[in-house]
Amino acid sequence: DTAVSQTPKYLVTQMGNDKSIKCEQNLGHDTMYWYKQDSKKFLKIMFSYNNKELIINETVPNRFSPKSPDKAHLNLHINSLELGDSAVYFCASSQENVWSSGELFFGEGSRLTVL
């Protein structure tokens, strides 16, 4: 069973469109994340979310919005796509403890190409 699964794995779309990437984790974790990996392979956090709060990286445009229907899902919606949004988006989850976020488990990534 896949612990963290994302769909779709590949997404090709036109500039200006709105798209969503779905993420589900079956680990019972209480925190989920979205990361963006750019063409230089640099990974940067976009959002972290648990049932208490959403933490947003201030550099993320408000065209990006996470939506969590329940604890096991954190979907990423992107409005008015731009060329610079082309990247691989990774979902991750972890179980927080008193010391830290805990070990992160990643999905396999969703490669978004904006034409």
Partner 1 sequence: KQEVTQIPAALSVPEGENLVLNCSFTDSAIYNLQWFRQDPGKGLTSLLLIQSSQREQTSGRLNASLDKSSGRSTLYIAASQPGDSATYLCAPETGANNLFFGTGTRLTVIP
Residues that bind partner 1 (CB under 8 A): 4, 31, 33, 40-45, 48, 50, 55, 90, 92, 94, 96, 99-109
Shortest approach of partner 1 to residue 14 CB, angstroms? 24
Closer to partner 1 by CB, 39 or 62: give it: 39
- Which residues, other chains included, contact 12 with Cβ-Cβ below 8 Å and sequence gap of 6+? 113, 115
Shortest approach of partner 1 to residue 29 CB, angstroms? 12
- Strand-pairing partners, residue 76, are 21, 66
Closer to partner 1 by CB, 20 or 109: give it: 109
Closer to partner 1 by CB, 15 or 43: give it: 43
Closer to partner 1 by CB, 14 or 58: give it: 58
Shortest approach of partner 1 to residue 78 CB, angstroms? 19
CA distances from 39 to 61, 72, 114 (A): 18, 29, 13
